[in-house]
Amino acid sequence: MQCVISSKPLISLWHLISGFHWQYFGATFFAGTAALARTGVNLFLGYFIDQILIKRQYGTKLIEAALIFAALIAGQAFSSFMSGKLAAQTGEGSTRRLRDYLFNHIQRLSFAYHSEAKTGDLLERATSDVDTLRRFFSDQAIGIGRITLIFIINLTAIYRINPRLAGISVVIVPVILVVSLLFFKQLSKSYASYQEQEAVLTTNLQENLSGVRVVKAFARQGYEIDKFEGNNAEKLRRGEKLNMMHALFWPISDLICAAQQITSSFIAALMAIDGVITVGNFIAFAGLLGWLIWPVRNLGRLIVDTSRALVSFKRITNILKVPEENLFIASCQPENGVKGDISFDHVSFEYEKNHPVLQDVNFSCKAGQVVALLGSTGSGKTSLVKLLPRFYEVTSGRILLDGVNLNEYSRDFLRSQIGIVEQEPFLFSASIRDNITYGMKHEVSQAKVEEVARDAAIHDVVESFTNGYDTLVGERGVTLSGGQKQRVAIARALLINPRILILDDSTSSVDMETEVQIRAALENLMKDRTTFIIAHRIQSIMDADLILVFDQGRIIQSGTHAELLSQPGAYQEIYEIQTRIDNALQEEIDNVSLL
């Protein structure tokens, strides 16, 4: 993937069409033959006027001329068709490769990168910017060769008519080049600014659609509309500036080209009147001049459009230059998986330098034990479990898995040994079966799917649906309740049979009946697995083998429930507060029941 990256963007673009070079050269070749045929029509028109019409050479000469015209026009049409076809193959093939490169690369970027990147911006680069490059490959890239050949062929033909006319006809070229390059610099900046704002707008829209239920729940439609309209207005402002520059460029280039065409035609007409050139030569020159000025005018368009393509390519390569996460390098990879003994040895971690999230964390657990992490929001619990699959690397200290430094296992292997059930599980817009089997790299039998679904206490629910396991869950599992999504996620984790399990407060946002069902499913899931539970309620972790209480990135207490409850400290205080709340809630429920 890195092979397409070069310090020179045009060289990078050339590398990107490797595999399609023959289509590119073929499109350019046929563009040249179309130009030759077109030039032939103009030259033969001059001959036809001078040698046939003026000399009244009718009969067979007229028929021969008609056949030659037909052959030239047919050749031009065929060559234009082939050039367009091969140009389209170059454009579509190259952009397909680029999309594959980009998507593949994004999949291999680190967890840290995706934590900071904006989804809307990535979508914009993977769609709009790639489409800009598709147009470049199928038009501007071919246009470079096309206009060069058209210019050379027509200039040569004019030179054959009269060298002086050839010199007069190219006076325009340096003027158009200077004007185009001046606009190129400004357009590049304006287009980059426009694309950035389009990415902001896409992010705004993507976030709004993803969170539409929250928007409606808090009646924030007005705020979201104002926010979107503000971003859209800024996009309009930048778009108007960009279009204004385009609107200025084309009249200026058209004015220069028109002045060139009028001046050259006037001089050629005088030469025809004076007998320096024939009438047929004048007619041929008039036709050739149009096709000489056309590539010069389009040179400006080519430069302007190429500036847009280079901006888009730079935005894409900014992603491609981000180092990939290495999933497979390892010095230790047990054939039978891991047991699950874990030790944290003076582990410290920070997302930003000098801003520690975890400080000198020390603890050990045996395979199959349950470790509960308790603490306020931001105390470091979630950061700790993100270190286990190597989503992030420790800043100092070390983590041992079965006595081996975690860094010696490949990320791919580690993640195959770890199952994660998040607080808000993500389900794909697919069937329930597809979501349960998502973590598997091979086909899974229906019997196995149903087995893990039963263990996750979701089988009976799925069977009650009309389409059973083929039921589509909608985007992010919208057709399922929170508890149902949790149990599908538990079934998914059960199916990969992990040795280490991470549960991120999986029962915090469900009702009591659903919590009981999820707890039963979790008991099946945790059997014989080293389990880390992130919790806020002590009731859910009383049976843990080891409870770690966190505060500001440090472990301030550790032990079993009974041990911690006997010690004055944060755990005892949290327990007493939660017990009072639970008792008060139960009292309210009892009072309502008596009414």
Which residue ranges make up each domain of the chain? 9-320, 339-417+500-509+529-595, 423-497
Residue in 37, 22, 153 with CA at minimum distance from that of residue 94: 22
Give the gyration radius of the chain's Cα atoms: 36
Please name the residues in contact with 276: beta carbons below 8 A apart, sequence gap of 6 or more.
162
Q: How far is CA 377 from CA 358, 371, 505, 569, in A?
A: 13, 18, 12, 18
CATH architecture type of domain 9-320: Up-down Bundle (1.20)
pTM of the model: 0.73
Strand partners, 557: 549
Q: What is the pLDDT along the chain (595 residues), one digit of tens a residue?
A: 445 565 676 677 777 777 888 888 898 889 888 888 888 887 777 777 777 777 777 667 788 888 988 998 999 899 989 988 998 888 888 888 888 888 888 888 888 888 888 877 888 888 888 888 888 888 877 777 778 888 888 888 888 888 888 888 888 778 877 877 777 777 777 877 887 888 788 878 877 776 666 666 656 778 788 888 888 888 888 888 878 877 777 788 778 888 888 888 888 888 888 888 888 888 888 888 887 877 777 776 777 778 778 888 888 888 888 888 877 676 677 777 788 899 999 999 999 888 899 999 999 999 989 999 998 888 889 899 999 999 999 999 999 999 999 988 888 888 888 888 887 788 888 888 988 888 887 888 899 988 888 888 888 888 898 888 888 887 777 778 877 888 888 888 888 888 898 988 665 555 566 666 667 767 767 778 899 999 878 888 888 899 999 999 999 999 999 999 998 888 888 888 888 877 776 677 666 655 5
Residue in 129, 30, 37 with CA at minimum distance from that of residue 84: 30
Domain 339-417+500-509+529-595 matches domain 423-497 at the CATH topology level: yes
Q: Which two tokens stand for residue 286?
A: 């008039």
Residue in 383, 400, 409, 398 with CA at minimum distance from that of residue 502: 383
CATH architecture type of domain 339-417+500-509+529-595: 3-Layer(aba) Sandwich (3.40)
Residue in 130, 59, 138, 55 with CA at minimum distance from that of residue 97: 130
Burial of 209 (0-12, 13-18, 19+ CB in 10 A): exposed
Q: Which CATH superfamily is domain 423-497 in?
A: P-loop containing nucleotide triphosphate hydrolases (3.40.50.300)
Which residue's entry shows tokens 């179309």?
Answer: 34
Residue in 289, 255, 249, 254 with CA at minimum distance from that of residue 269: 289
